[in-house]
A and B are shown apart, each in its own frame.
Chain A
Amino acid sequence: MEDLSLHILDIGENAITAGASLLRITINENTEENTLFLKIQDNGRGLDAGAMEKALDPLYATKASKRAGQGLPMLARAAREADGELNLRSGDGKGTVVLARFVLDHFDRKPLGNIAETLITLIAAGGLEVDILYRHFKNGRDFLFDTRDVKEELKEVPITDPGVLSYLKEAVNNGLKNLLKE
């Protein structure tokens, strides 16, 4: 994966496959502490103890279980390469929390990438039944995107409509550009 937004898409796809109805993605950048935290939290069916143990093992990717493949080990490696680490919290029926820490200015820390494209891809993938809450904090300022707000505004028009998604992509891009400019 070239950047963090692709990892987010990958883990988000896992969540949708696990039957999540709410996917919460949080990024927190802190220049002073020199950290970047990425948290991806879902209310899907979660992983049982056996699957948890193997989820970070890159050699565990049984097609039969389809619970986890290469995605989590790849994100864990990306975190380690930037002097960080990945933590996984889950339980059978309890959803899953993936928390990755990176050293913000580390030479090998992958760039954020195109968050807006990842979000609209996840909306298209999840359909009308999955809601996404994206929060991005940077040095105390923040940007928030919640599909529940958008759906309320859209009323009977589906959020998965290409015209709506194309608008949302631009709106998220602008919002993040505004947050991330120094």
Chain B
Amino acid sequence: MAKLKIGDLEKIREKVRKTAGLRQGKSRGKVTVHMGTCGIAAGARGILTAVMDQLEASEIKDVIVATSGCAGLCSREPMATVEITGNPPVKYVDLTPEKIRKILDEHIVNGNIVEKNALAIGSERTY
């Protein structure tokens, strides 16, 4: 059986382990990508991949990435909810990978809500 070659995992483990201390502290915030059937059909997977890439590229270690289901606004998918710990969550709509990258830069790094892509402040039930 041709298993995934996991030899290089050792290297990755060492690299990540060095920054693990940073992660164990309080998280700065949370990004939730809506991953219902509607979201997936509209491109939510690419949004989540862009979030992961951006966090890795910017070396942001204290932001949690999660997924949720349909928020009941399928026509505005892909959607994501960005929350800075202690502040109300902001829902962003009609996303593209480029838009979410800019939003992460502005909202997570600089603390400014990107109003032109935002729908509302508040949260649906997540799972």
Chain A: residues with CB nearer than 8 A to chain B? 1, 6, 9-10, 13, 17, 63, 66, 69-71, 74, 114, 117-118, 120-121, 124-125, 127, 141-146, 149-150, 153-157, 160-169, 171-172, 175, 178-179
Contact = CB atoms under 8 A, between A and B. Distances in A.
Contacts of A168: 4
9 contacts: A121-B48, A121-B49, A157-B17, A162-B65, A165-B52, A167-B9, A167-B12, A171-B8, A179-B2
Given A150-B9, A163-B56, A143 B2 contact: yes
B119 interface: no
A10 B16 contact: no
B8 A162 contact: no
A156 B16 CA distance: 10
B127 to A, nearest CB: 6
Interface stretch (B66-74, B79-87, B109-117): B66-74
B120 interface: no
A69 B37 contact: yes
Interface of B: 1-6, 8-10, 12-13, 15-17, 20, 23, 35-38, 40-41, 45-46, 48-49, 52-53, 55-56, 65-67, 69-70, 72, 127
A157 B5 contact: no
Nearest to B40: A10
B69 A117 contact: no
A172 B69 contact: no
B20 A124 contact: no
B67 A124 contact: yes
Contacts of B56: 162-163, 166
Given A69-B36, A117-B45, A162-B56, A156 B4 contact: no
B69 A17 contact: yes
Contacts of B4: 143-146, 149-150, 168, 171-172, 175
State the 4 A-B residue pairs at the shortest beta-carbon distance, nearest first: A125-B67, A162-B56, A153-B9, A71-B37
A160 B56 CA distance: 12
Given A6-B40, A6-B45, A156 B17 contact: yes
Given A13-B35, A114-B45, A150-B6, 13 more contacts: A9-B40, A13-B40, A118-B45, A124-B52, A124-B67, A160-B65, A162-B53, A163-B12, A164-B12, A166-B52, A167-B8, A175-B5, A178-B2
Looking at A10, A71, A175, the one whose CB has the most chain B CB atoms below 10 A away is A10
Contact of B2 (A1, A117, A175): A175
Nearest to B72: A63
